[in-house]
Structure 1
Amino acid sequence: MPNVDAFFDALRDEITDLAETHRQEMQEAALEDGEAFLNQTRDDLERWSRLLEQGELSQEEFESLVRGQKDLVEMEALKQAGLAAVRAEQFRDALINRIVGTAGRILL
């Protein structure tokens, strides 16, 4: 589906923007972790995106499902790069928020 492809393209742009909010040495790690999360959750995100687009899931249900994936976001590269656990968690939360917001913008 073209909208799901547009959704993932937009998510990659969001990850890049989010990574740029971190100090220069952390940007690469943030990009790596964001891409790893997308790769880990791609099948679920595709399925939920289609359901959202078809009106079979509400945006609130979509958000709940995505937030349920929060524990999968390990942020290993950020931790190895020296980012404190609090900052890694903030990045993870911001990533989840961007996924939900992008889905609403692209798919609804």
Structure 2
Amino acid sequence: MDFKELYKSIKAGILDLVKERFDEESSLIKNDVDLFLEQSKDKLERWVLLLNQGAITPTEFELLLQSQKDLLIIQTLEKAGVSKIKIGLFKNAAIKLIVSKAVTLIL
């Protein structure tokens, strides 16, 4: 398992999700996404390793990621007037994307 490749894939997937959901603001949100991924990188790498070793299940992996969700502060969207509900839905979709990519790579 190559974490660097997984990390790049996750980053690209989240940025695609941003473009899909927030077309006009997508270029502005990139910095917020980069900050979240950088803040979460060490934990994500550790959790992916545990998932790969079978020490945690995909469900447990998702719960661990959910604990990081509040770090994904999309200040740009809040300033642009996007509702907290829409931002919350985006955060949940980003978590699902990370889980999907990690589980697909490992299993």
Give the TM-score normalised by the residue count of structure 2: 0.87
* Partners of 2:76 and 2:39 in 1: CA distance: 15
Task: State which drifts further: 94-103 or 20-29.
Answer: 20-29
In structure 1, what residue type is equivalent to 2:17? L
Question: Among the aligned pairs, what percent are the same residue?
Answer: 33
Gapped regions of structure 2 (runs ≥ 5): none
Taking only aligned residues, the RMSD between alpha carbons, in angstroms, comes to 1.6
Q: CA deviation at 1:73?
A: 1.6
What amino acid sits opposite 2:73 in the alignment?
Answer: E
After TM superposition, give the deviation of residue 107 of structure 1 in Å.
2.5
Equivalent position of 2:55 in the other structure:
56
Asked if residue 39 in structure 1 is aligned to residue 38 in structure 2, the reply is yes
TM-score normalized by the length of structure 1: 0.86
Q: CA deviation at 1:4?
A: 1.0
1:20 to partner: Cα distance: 1.5
Residue of structure 1 in register with 2:9 after alignment: 10
* Count of residue pairs the alignment pairs up: 107
**Aligned residues of 1:6 and 1:106 also touching (Cα < 8 A):** no
Q: Deviations over 1:69-93 (max 9, x none)?
A: 1122211122123322221111111
